[in-house]
Amino acid sequence: MFLRLLSDVRWRTASRSWRSTSSSRHMTTSAAEPPSISLPAQAQVVICGGGIVGTSVAYHLSKLGWKDIVLLEQGRLAAGSTRFCAGIVSTVRHLSIELKMADYSNKLYQQLEQETGIKTGYVKTGSISLAQTQDRLISLKRIASRLSVMGIPCEIMAPKQVAQLHPLINIHDLVGAMYVPEDAVVSSVDVSLALANAASRNGVQIHERTSISHVMVQKGCVTGVETDRGQIECQYFVNCAGQWAYELGLSNEEPVSIPLHGCEHFYLLTRPLKKPLESNTPTIVDPDGRIYIRSWQGGILSGGFEKNPKPIFTEGRNQLEIQNLHEDWDHFEPLLSSLLRRMPGLEALEIMQLVNCPESFTPDMRCILGESPTVQGYFVLAGMNSAGTSFGGGAGRYLAEWMVNGCPSENVWPLDLKRFGALQSSRTFLRHRVMEVMPLIYDLKVPRWDFQTGRQLRTSPLYDRLDAQGARWMEKHGFERPKYFVPPGKDLLSLDQSKTFYKPDWFDIVGSEVKCCKEAVCVIDMSSFTKFEISSTGDQALEVLQYLFSNDLDVPVGHIVHTGMLNEEGGYENDCSIARLNKRSFFMISPTDQQVHCWAWLKKHMPNDSNLLLEDVTWKYTALNLIGPRAVDVLSELSYVPMTPEHFPSLFCKEMSVGYANGIRVMSMTHTGEPGFMLYIPIEYALHVYNELMSMGQKYGIRNAGYYALRSLRIEKFFAFWGQDLDTFTTPLECGREFRVKLDKGTDFIGRDALMQQKQDGVCKRFTMFILEDHDTDLDLWPWWGEPIYRNGHYVGKTTSSAYSYTLERHVCLGFVQNLDEETREALVVTPDFINRGEYEIDIAGQRFQAKAKLYPFSSLFTQRRRKDEMELSGYHGK
Amino acid sequence: MLAASCCDRRMCVCPGPRRIAIPVRSSRLPLFSDAMPAPTQLFPLIRNCEIGRIYNAVCYCHHKHLCCLSPHLAHNHLRCAPQKKLATLCPKENFHQFIHARSYVSTPQRFYLTPPQVNSILKANEYSFKVPEFDGKNVSSILGFDSNQLPANAPIEDRRSAATCLQTRGMLLGVFDGHAGCACAQAVSERLFYYIAVSLLPHETLLEIENAVESGRALLPILQWHKHPNDYFSKEASKLYFNSLRTYWQELIDLNTGETTDVKEALINAFKRLDNDISLEAQVGDPNSFLNYLVLRVAFSGATACVAHVDGVDLHIANTGDSRAMLGVQEEDGSWSAVTLSYDHNAQNESEIERVKLEHPKSEEKSVVKQDRLLGLLMPFRAFGDVKFKWSIELQKRVIESGPDQLNDNEYTKFIPPNYHTPPYLTAEPEVIHHKLRPQDKFLVLATDGLWETMHRQDVVRIVGEYLTGVHHQQPIAVGGYKVTLGQMHGLLTERRARISSVFEDQNAATHLIRHAVGNNEFGAVDHERLSKMLSLPEELARMYRDDITIIVVQFNSHIVGACQNEDF
């Protein structure tokens, strides 16, 4: 009902020629069910939203064989943001999953006209991304090296070549550009009508002018939807409501948090040029000028992402705001200036219209895809961050696969709804954050970038103490974590100036923190980790954990086990450490951003047994990591208990007193491979224990350290971490963790069959550590992640993380190596021999550096000798 | 003689003192006329950059306002300096030759001021006063005022004053535009408010003050001044001024009529009395030679005054001369309109011409106002000081002869106006306008003619109104059915943005107004380049392009005004 109004308002202002581009819509809408036909009483799937996203989900579901699908649209098909989007399909993306989605969308749209007979306006124009600065060119080169290994043609070119490709462009302020010839433009309205048409031919029922008031939920499962035309019982519900997805999610009795927020988005349409622009003129993206320009009916279509966006619909559907969605020329002025600077020849071109088309944005600029952690059968695909056309096809496919097969065919964790929780659903937070996200679309994306808005939401009780000591903070899942501590008297660059692809300004600071961890003792506040307690009256807890985790958890009380939580395919759903507190209760530590995902997974797989208790105790404990050879001394002095390995062996957990405080869970592990302890402290003791540690540690040279030091320590020890190196498509066998899988522990566990099979067949990718050989830390570009790995000149995989090792004085990259058959591109078995016999190179923004591959960490790095199976190979630190 | 029409042009060139045109060698012209015949001797003496600056300014002026400048220079030259060589008629050629000959002369760009430099010049004299609030309530009908001045003369001849009356209610604000030096304006700015305050005081208070002075007790403070650090009072003359003031209140005590003081009458009396005192002090002289010279300079120079007295909803404007008071009224639709609350006393005011002519015999009808000036010389028809237009010839001669040597050396003071038959020709008596403030009256602008000749009153009120409300009544632009090109739209938007950004730069309404007055381009938007050029003019040239500007913007408290109004009915 609301989108209907929206489209009415815009419809009147739209010009005749704009309307003519979508003339085909009348034909297809008639193909859809007229509204007079009554709704079915039940269906397997109900999809809400008839934009490009909703129709794409319907299309792909029906392709995968699901037929009993109803698509409801409150207005008319393709009438919301889809109607007004610029229709650019571009694979120029930073995330590889986004790149894959865009690539798939492009191929899908290309053949859609042939498949359905409906004109989609698809023109392969190519796109040129311009660089006004060297840093931007580096950013483009990084994308180019990823595109080329995916087989997508692209070319880094000089400004002069750009002038040959585009007749109007001013190249004087350019340093270079990237040309992607396969990129395309479409009419997004017609694409979604074509998708709807194909879906309805496959049996999908489409009902326009039907709005959903809420989704009915019973016992945590979707049972149906309530519409203004009656109820429909259903098993699955898909929320593709775009701008309104947030509101719709909240309207349930059991709310589903879908954090997205609208911003007004403007683009300009002009009349044709005197010499009309060819329809296949490449699309120009000028991120430094914050604009995009495509040819449109002989004239141009140009919009952008301004620095001062106008958030809208903070209070939900607001009639007044919709009526006030006027052209705002004063707001558009910087973009218009930028356009005329880029194409001065357009001065005399006549304006047709300035379109105001709200788009929805998410807190981390990635779309939201997946199943709700709280309501089973409630799926979401929304928050496209102004790239709905590029991602619609691919995202729709992944969601359909997820629903039909139980999981998508690619790792979609970066887009998973479960990366967010209820804590990101505050309207104020969203409003502030999207104002930062929208300009970010065209901002330079450099490594280690932190959001500035929506901060200081979750903090440790030590936050103020650490902040006063010079802590610089990063945020993970709303939790503030120290990156490093700036010593007094030392100043770092301001935020904007610190953006670099080269050696960062904190290099020496982190170096000295690492040194202190190696030689003395450091304390790192790691309170953000997700902490669960599982207990039961009988053996139920052990039984369920044995089934959910691959390692053997039937260990003596006080032991800690590193284990993976695997899916049916043997891939990591989570990687965690579990301490057995007593016979019947376990303490589980997972990465910070697993809070929602791991909870949902456990809830889903745990029997509904009132004797089994799962509790999230994240907020109850402050975690301090005491790293370094002198940690033993500090702790034993504070507790009057000997802490040497003889008395307190590695991977051991004990409740003890530290200072005056009793009941501190001390664990002999540090997540880094360095000696030391993790202290889980009930929060009311946090300040006391911290103060005691710092004053007692003074004589041992104790100091604060941050996550950057931790990360450097961990990567040089070849510790993989979940969310970055490990994902749902990686098995323990592929990352050298066979020893954490007990195939013969006596009970079955999820993923066991797959692992048995893999053990027999051999692995097709192998987690490998690379030490960069000819890389100059001061002068060369630093690796980040996602850099292509070449073996003997052939592409074999990508890096997943990297860090500078202060011990090796070299960069270390971690990544997966595949053995791709040269002809069939099929992945063959990777043997240690294959890894060892190869000359490797890492491609950083087009420049290749020699690298030495290693399958095992440097043993000499360890200060304490340990048996290999006791080795603590864990890590769950964020990026 | 110097065409008045020229002076009304925004960018006119008007060498020499503008208010009074004297047919003798002007003090400003020699730079051109003397230097030109022998440039090689003079120029090396001046620092290169100085020359550069002069050049830029002159050339700039030439290119842009050729039509205005050239004929004018020629005209001026022929009238007042016939002995000068022809070369001076065309300084342009000479300057260009010079620039070509000396390639190291700086390029014009070098002297562009950066925006911070421009701001520091504009803000040097700005002053803001906020009426303090009591318990979160401001009981005054005035919220506060902003004032500022921008010199063109060196030193500036404008003055401003603001003070709160402590023994009576109300606040006094005034701008004073001096001519033939700043002495008179300075004296008036120091003294006039005391005269007004005293005129307003009830009999008992006057007695109390007199008794205090008599018995050497501490005096009740009469005025609380709101001064910028650059606004000074002369210490030397304070005793003299005090004595004159005391004489005035003693007379007021003697004259005690027992009636309550009428503000209008008090203002008129105060103006007239002060002018009278200035005249008398010059005639009597002072044994102290410094003071003696001072009082003569005060009397022989002149000043106009425009003073506002605000007490509750009663606003009185007393004006003498051609400064102006303008009320900013916000209409119901939010738009701004200007209500003039003073009459200009100059040749543009027909009733003023009428008045002057009636005060003199019919035989002088032609000579008393010539070329839009009083006796062909003075632009304002009323002013303080200017005893040359008030005293008899004999008195003038006697005072000058007995005066100090400096006075005798000054050709201006010795010069007697032509057709000077029936003095006085000039008066300081103000015209007073009374206005009852209404809630829609948002602010009052008092400004010297330096502002009014560059900006239309409607623009002044709109700019201040938009500044104070922070709202720009810029209609959102819609393309609609019109044919608009990208270039046109871009131009329009850039201009609109400039207008908004200049508002945010200023914390002071008067500064904001000056920025517009000096920097406005033909579209009514502040043009930085123009602003920069105007402000970097060397002292010698600045006066040719603009006059001193002094502005006070008084903001009214609509709530209080509304409440007072209701009480009245």
3-state secondary structure (DSSP) of residue A114: helix
Decide if A237 contacts A379 (C-beta within 8 A). Answer: yes
pLDDT above 90: residue A418 = yes
Cite the beta strand spans of B341-412 per DSSP E.
Answer: 369-370, 373-374, 384-385
Instruction: Determine the 3-state secondary structure of A498 from DSSP.
Output: coil
Size of the A and B interface in Cβ pairs below 8 Å: 60
pLDDT in tens, chain B (569 residues): 333 333 333 333 333 344 555 444 333 333 333 333 333 333 333 334 443 343 443 333 333 333 333 333 333 333 333 333 333 333 444 444 444 434 444 444 446 788 888 888 898 999 999 888 665 566 788 989 999 999 998 889 999 999 999 888 899 999 999 998 999 999 999 999 999 999 999 888 899 999 999 998 888 889 999 998 888 888 888 999 999 999 999 999 988 877 777 899 999 999 999 999 999 999 998 888 889 889 999 999 999 999 999 998 999 999 999 999 999 999 888 788 999 999 999 999 999 999 999 999 999 888 999 899 999 899 999 999 999 999 999 998 888 888 777 777 777 777 888 889 998 999 999 999 999 999 999 999 999 999 999 999 999 998 898 888 765 445 567 776 678 889 988 988 887 777 666 656 778 899 989 988 988 876 667 777 888 888 888 877 888 888 899 999 999 988 888 887 766 54
CB–CB of A45/A61 below 8 Å? yes
Angle between helices A686-697 and A631-639 (to 10 degrees): 120
Asked if residue A511 has pLDDT above 50, the reply is yes
Across the interface, whether the CB atoms of B489 and A347 are under 8 A apart is answered no
The CA distance from B486 to the nearest CA of chain A, in Å, is 5
pLDDT of residue A319: 66
Q: What is the DSSP string of B135-161?
A: TTB--SSEEEEEEEEE-SSSS--EEEE
For testing contact with chain B, the best of A268, A330, A355 (most B CBs within 10 A): A330
Average pLDDT over residues A487-496: 80
Tens of pLDDT, residue by residue over A770-810, are 999 999 999 999 999 999 999 999 999 999 999 999 999 99
User: B474 or A870: whose pLDDT is higher?
Assistant: B474
Q: What is the DSSP letter of B126?
A: -
Coarse DSSP helix, strand, coil percentages of chain A, rounded to the nearest 5 percent: 30, 30, 40
Question: Looking at residue B135, what is its pLDDT?
Answer: 56
Point out the residue among A326, A336, A353 whose CB comes nearest to the CB of B489: A336
Structure pTM?
0.68
pLDDT of A673 reads 87
| Contact criterion met (CB < 8 Å) for B479 and A340 | no
Relative orientation angle of helices A707-716 and A507-519, to the nearest 10 degrees: 70
- What count of Cα atoms within 13 Å lies in the side-chain half-sphere of residue B522? 1
Q: How is residue A851 written in tokens?
A: 């690298």
The whole-number pLDDT of residue B491 equals: 87
Distance between A177 CA and the closest CA of chain B, angstroms: 26
Say what percent of chain A tops pLDDT 70: 93
Task: Kindly report the average pLDDT of chain B as a whole number.
Answer: 78
Least trusted range by pLDDT, from A402-406, A520-524, B358-362, B413-417:
B413-417
ipTM, interface predicted TM-score of the complex: 0.82
pLDDT at B105: 40
Cα four-point dihedral sign A407, A408, A414, A418: negative
Secondary structure (3-state) at A346 = helix
> For residue B292, which amino acid is it?
N
To the nearest whole Å, the CA of B467 is away from the closest chain A CA by 19
pLDDT band at A320 (very low <50, low <70, confident <90, very high): low
Would you state the pLDDT for residue A494? 76
Question: Rounded CA gap, A156 and A160, in Å?
Answer: 12
Write the CB contacts of A12 (distance below 8 Å, at least 6 apart in sequence): none
Chain B residue numbers with beta carbons less than 8 Å from the beta carbon of A327 are 476-479
- Sequence letter at residue B417: P
Length of chain A as a residue count: 879
What does the alpha-carbon distance between residue A587 and residue A620 come to, in Å, rounded to a whole number?
Answer: 12
Q: How many CB atoms lie within 10 A of CB A700?
A: 16
A112-150 tens-digit pLDDT: 999 999 999 999 999 999 999 999 999 999 999 999 999
Rg (CA), chain A: 28
Min Cα separation A826/chain B (Å): 53
Whether A820 and A755 have beta carbons less than 8 Å apart is answered as no
A605-614, A726-735, A832-841, B526-535: lowest mean pLDDT where? B526-535
For all residues of chain A together, what is the average pLDDT? Answer: 90
The answer to whether B493 contacts A346, with C-beta atoms less than 8 Å apart, is no
pLDDT of B41 reads 37
pLDDT at A14: 35
Query: C-alpha A389: how far from its chain's center?
Result: 19
Closest CA to A88 of A442, A394, A391: A391
- Give the pLDDT confidence of A269-291 residue by residue, as tens digits: 999 999 998 989 999 999 999 99
Residue A194 has pLDDT above 50, yes or no: yes
Instruction: Report whether pLDDT(A841) > 90.
Output: yes
> Which one is predicted more confidently, A430 or B52?
A430
Contact at CB, B485 and A330, closer than 8 angstroms: no
CB contact under 8 A, B485 and A348: yes
Q: Is the pLDDT of residue A31 over 60?
A: no
What does the H/E/C string look like for B270-333? HHHHHHHHHHHHHHHCCCCHHHHHHHHHHHHCEEEEEEEEEECCEEEEEEECCCEEEEEEECCC
- Indicate the residue type of B215: S
Residues B338-390: pLDDT tens digits?
Answer: 999 999 999 999 999 999 999 999 998 889 998 999 998 999 999 999 999 99
Minimum CA–CA partner of A336 in chain B: B490
Tokens of B568: 């009245």
Cα dihedral sign, A534-A538-A542-A543:
negative
> In Å, what is the CA distance from A476 to each residue of A621, A627, B102?
17, 22, 66
The model's confidence at residue A260, banded by pLDDT at 50, 70 and 90, is: very high
pLDDT, greater one: B54 or A53: A53
B interface residues, A as partner, C-beta within 8 Å = 474, 476-479, 483-487, 489-490, 493-494, 496-497
pLDDT per residue over B241-286, tens digit each? 999 999 999 999 988 877 777 899 999 999 999 999 999 999 998 8
pLDDT, greater one: A461 or B34: A461
Instruction: Average the pLDDT over A253-278 and give the result.
Output: 92
Q: CB distance A351–B490 less than 8 Å?
A: no
Output the pLDDT for position B92: 41
- pLDDT given for residue A771 in this prediction: 95
Q: What pLDDT, in 10s, does the model give residues A626-676?
A: 999 999 999 999 999 999 989 999 999 999 999 999 999 999 999 998 999
Calculate the CA B426 to chain-centre distance. 19
Identify all chain B residues contacting A328, using CB atoms and an 8 Å cutoff.
476
Chain A residues whose C-beta is within 8 A of a chain B C-beta are 268, 270, 326-330, 332-333, 336-337, 339-340, 346-354
Q: Which of B479, B483, B486 to mutate to test the interface with A (most CBs of A within 10 A)?
A: B486
pLDDT digits (tens, 9 = 90+) for B515-526: 889 888 766 677
Which residues in chain A are closer than 8 Å to B487, comparing Cβ atoms?
340, 346-348
| CA A44 to centroid of chain Cα atoms | 30
